[in-house]
C-alpha cells in the first residue's frame, strides 16, 4: 500500500494510507499514514453502520488534510466493539500460503525473510 502511495505521490497527487498494520505501511516511507485498530475485512466498521463508517472516513480524510510534513503518522481513536477473538474472522478455505505452510512449515522462514522460492 505504502509503495503504491509513494509512486502516486511522486506523480503529483497527494495520498494518505489508512492502515491496520501501520508499522509495515510506515516502513515504506509513505507520505501520510493513519493507523486504525479495526479488524481485517471491516476497516470502516460493521455492515449497516453508516454513522460509524462515515465517522472513520471523515476522521481519516481530516487527519490526512491536516498533515503538513512527509512521513506523517497519526492514529485514529476508534475502538472496535467486539472482543478480539470475535473480531478476527478467518476465510474459509484458508489462504493458499497458509495451506502451503501448514503442509510444509519449513518454508515459513522464506515468507518471513522475503526470500521467495
For the CB of residue 85, give the shortest distance to another protein in the complex, in Å. Answer: 10
For the CB of residue 44, give the shortest distance to another protein in the complex, in Å. Answer: 5
Specify the residue, 60 or 106, whose C-beta has the smaller distance to another protein: 60
For the CB of residue 35, give the shortest distance to another protein in the complex, in Å. Answer: 6
Reading the block at residue 18, the C-alpha cell is 489508512
CB 72 within 8 A of CB 33: yes
CB 28 within 8 A of CB 3: yes
Specify the residue, 68 or 106, whose C-beta has the smaller distance to another protein: 68
Specify the residue, 12 or 106, whose C-beta has the smaller distance to another protein: 12
Reading the block at residue 51, the C-alpha cell is 454513522
Distance CA 15, CA 65 (A): 10
Amino acid at each position: 500500500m505504502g509503495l503504491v502511495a509513494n509512486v502516486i505521490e511522486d506523480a503529483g497527487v497527494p495520498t494518505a494510507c489508512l492502515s491496520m498494520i501501520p508499522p509495515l505501511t510506515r516502513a515504506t516511507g509513505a507520505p501520510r499514514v493513519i493507523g486504525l485498530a479495526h479488524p481485517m475485512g471491516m476497516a470502516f466498521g460493521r455492515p449497516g453502520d453508516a454513522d460509524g463508517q462515515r465517522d472513520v472516513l471523515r476522521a481519516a480524510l481530516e487527519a490526512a488534510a491536516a498533515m503538513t510534513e512527509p512521513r506523517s503518522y497519526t492514529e485514529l481513536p476508534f475502538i472496535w466493539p467486539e472482543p478480539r477473538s470475535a473480531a478476527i474472522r478467518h476465510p474459509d478455505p484458508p489462504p493458499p500460503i497458509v495451506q502451503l505452510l501448514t503442509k510444509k512449515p519449513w518454508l515459513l522462514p522464506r515468507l518471513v525473510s522475503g526470500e521467495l522460492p
